Amino acid sequence: MRSIRAILPLAALLALAPLAFRARSAEPENAPGYQWKLPKGFPVPYVPPDNPMTEAKVELGRYLFYDTRMSVNGKASCATCHKQDLAFTDGRATGLGATGEPHTRSAMSLVNIAYSGALTWVSPNLKKLEEQALTPMFGEHPVELGLRGGDKFLPTIRGDAKYRGLFPIAYPSDADPFTVPNVTRAIASFERSIISASSPYDRYHYGGDDSAVSEAAKQGEKLFFNTKLHCFRCHGGFNFSDATISANAPDRRIEFHNTAVNLAPNDTAKFKTPTLRNIAVTAPYMHDGSIPTLEAVIDHYAAGGRAHDNPNKDPEISGFEISAQDRANLIAFLETLTDPELLHDASFANPWVSAR
Average pLDDT of span 313-334: 96
**Long-range Cβ contact pairs of 226-231 (< 8 A, separation 24 or more):** 228/320, 229/301, 229/320, 229/322, 229/330, 230/316, 230/317, 230/318, 230/320, 231/301
Q: Check if the beta carbon of residue 59 is closer than 8 Å to that of residue 193.
A: no
Q: Check if the beta carbon of residue 76 is closer than 8 Å to that of residue 145.
A: yes
The model's pLDDT over 223-277, given as tens digits with 9 standing for 90+, comes to: 999 999 999 999 999 999 999 999 999 999 999 999 999 888 778 999 999 999 9
| CA atoms within a 13 Å half-sphere pointing along the CA-CB vector of 108 | 24
pLDDT > 60? residue 315: yes
- In this prediction, residue 25 carries a pLDDT of 40
- In this prediction, residue 352 carries a pLDDT of 96
Q: How many CB atoms lie within 10 A of CB 160?
A: 16
The model's pLDDT over 53-91, given as tens digits with 9 standing for 90+, comes to: 999 999 999 999 999 999 999 999 999 999 999 999 999
Cα(125)–Cα(144) distance, integer angstroms? 20
- In this prediction, residue 355 carries a pLDDT of 58
- In this prediction, residue 356 carries a pLDDT of 55
Phi, psi of 63, rounded to the nearest 5 degrees: -65, -45
- In this prediction, residue 2 carries a pLDDT of 41
Q: Whole-angstrom distance between the N-terminal and C-terminal Cα of the chain? A: 28
Domains of the chain: 10-196+346-355 (1.10.760.10), 200-341 (1.10.760.10)
Q: How many CB atoms lie within 10 A of CB 98?
A: 22
Q: Is the pTM of this model over 0.75?
A: yes
| CA atoms within a 13 Å half-sphere pointing along the CA-CB vector of 42 | 20
Cα(193)–Cα(297) distance, integer angstroms? 29
Q: Check if the beta carbon of residue 91 is closer than 8 Å to that of residue 283.
A: yes
Compute CA 22 distance to the chain's CA centroid, rounded to the nearest angstrom: 27
* Percent of the chain topping pLDDT 70: 90
Shortest CA distance to 133 belongs to which of 235, 51, 253, 34?
51
The least confident of 21-30, 191-200, 258-267, 277-286 is 21-30
Asked if omega into 274 is within 30° of 0 (cis), the reply is no
Q: Check if the beta carbon of residue 84 is closer than 8 Å to that of residue 349.
A: yes
Q: Which helix (H) or strand (E) holds 293?
A: none
The model's pLDDT over 280-298, given as tens digits with 9 standing for 90+, comes to: 999 999 999 999 999 999 9
**Long-range Cβ contact pairs of 199-206 (< 8 A, separation 24 or more):** 199/277, 199/278, 199/336, 199/337, 199/338, 199/339, 200/336, 200/338, 201/333, 201/336, 201/337, 202/39, 202/339, 204/336, 205/41, 206/39, 206/40, 206/41, 206/42
